Amino acid sequence: MPMPELRVLGPEPEPVPDAMAAVYPDWESVYHDNIVGTYQLVFRKVGNPADAEDLAEEVLMHTLKTLRLPAPVPTVRAYLVKTARTVLADHWRRHYAVRDAATELEQVPLEIPTNPDAAERAQRLLTLLPDNFRSILELRFLRGYSVREAANELGVTESNARVLQFRALRKAAQFEREVLR
Amino acid sequence: MKDPADRVARFVDDLLHRRRPRRFEATPEEAEAMTAAAGLASARVGADLPDKEALERIHARLSGALDDSPVFDWRLTRRAWLRTAGTAAAAVVIGVGLDEIARGRQQPTGPGDLGSATLMPDNGSWRPVAAVSSIPPGHAVSVTTASVDAVVINDSGNISAVSGVCTHLGCKLQPDDANRKLDCPCHQTAFAWSGKVLYYRLKASPANLPRIPSRINDGQVELYIV
């Protein structure tokens, strides 16, 4: 039995050579593909949902108003990361008078996260710290203890617990810079 | 609150209660501790993920700001120009103004926001394809029946289904749950869970994925298929 002739309804889009990266056709595509990653990226630098929402929006808004679409995926992602750095540095400068935030952020590799590895990374950072530093930060950040509860658990005064927390965080920041890069 | 340890403790308290922290002039030492605290605030799994309402607010504000502004560049690459020229020709036929295209309201060729088709077979019926419990929230699962390849998605408890076949040349899509998308293994093309094209490496945009009607019945995800 002869094969029925297939009618071609229209030309199929053809693949283009590898040299040309995938492209985002419109702003909605950029949004859908990057909003969660951008949010995570800024969350890790501000630590709270309200600021993360504002800054993620600012990063997307600036990028989408600046870049012309369609644009290659890597171009858009690189621009998002660059914008995130600027927006974050500005945030720390405006609200906490931090002057060297830009330099600081330059040193930290910022990437649009492709997998949910923040928790893993933060927990790895904790394992690097000396025992007493690790304890206070685990109680606070992983188990959600208040300063008072953490102080009771560790058998120190609340005031000592706050000082311990402060020192532990500075140590963590140093490890973050030097070890986990 | 004059002591650095106290001020940082208050900052940490705000983070742990998921509040916007109070602003103050921080010393470099305080700032150092605060940035570490921000990183550690992501230590609990899922802490750094936006909730649905936040995403909707961001989307609405972007939409308000971007849908009215021209985002099209007339200094085009040759390839993009050819693509646009093709669309412009088509636009004349269907009566869409060039300025509409220029505003980015139209996809170059794909249907884009003009919507995804919904699969409505002539002699369809509701057929169970998977137990609801087998698809946890945040996951997409490929299912194959005698008539269709589909992907069933559980987006925070909302079940939906789209075709599991790339609209370009028919490769089977692979769910990428972490990024809430479906990847075509053949030509670096990806679709959102809604079926919308996210990106493509083709000369023109492929069509969005057809949606497949779905419902939950007696603990089973059912699709309206043949």
Over residues A19-61, the pLDDT tens digits come to 456 899 899 999 998 998 899 999 999 999 999 999 999 999 9
In this prediction, residue B145 carries a pLDDT of: 86
pLDDT band (50, 70, 90) for residue B113 = very low
More reliable by pLDDT, B96 or A12: A12
Most confident listed range (A99-108, B40-49, B64-73, B109-118)? B40-49
Mutate to test the interface with A, among B13, B18, B58 (most CBs of A within 10 A): B58
**Cβ of B40 and A172 within 8 Å?**
yes
B67 band by pLDDT with thresholds 50, 70 and 90: confident
Please provide the average confidence, as pLDDT, over all residues in chain A. Answer: 84
Is the confidence at residue A156, as pLDDT, over 70?
A: yes
Which residue on chain B is closest to A46 by alpha carbon? B38
Cβ(B160)–Cβ(B214) below 8 Å:
yes
Tell me what the pLDDT averaged over chain B comes to.
Answer: 79
Q: How confident is the model at residue B188 (pLDDT cuts 50, 70, 90)?
A: confident
Instruction: Name the residue with higher pLDDT: B96 or B155.
Output: B155
User: Does the ipTM surpass 0.95?
Assistant: no
Q: Is the pLDDT of residue A108 over 70?
A: no
DSSP H helical ranges for A47-157: 49-66, 73-96, 101-107, 118-128, 131-137, 147-154
Cis peptide before A70 (omega within 30 of 0): yes
Decide if B9 and A147 are in contact by the 8 Å CB cutoff.
yes
The whole-angstrom separation of Cα B126 and Cα B115 is 23
Average pLDDT (B133-158) is 91
What residue in A sits closest to B34 (Cα-Cα)?
A169
> For A117-134, what is the mean pLDDT?
86
Predicted pLDDT at B203: 74
Give the model's pLDDT for residue A119: 76
Nearest-CB residue to B50 (from A53, A118, A123)? A53
pLDDT at A17 over 60: no
- When CB atoms are compared, the residue of B18, B25, B197 closest to A25 is B197
Question: Which alpha helices (DSSP H) does B42-198 contain, by range?
Answer: 52-66, 78-94, 98-102
Q: Is the pLDDT of residue B178 over 50?
A: yes
Greatest CA separation found in chain A?
Answer: 90
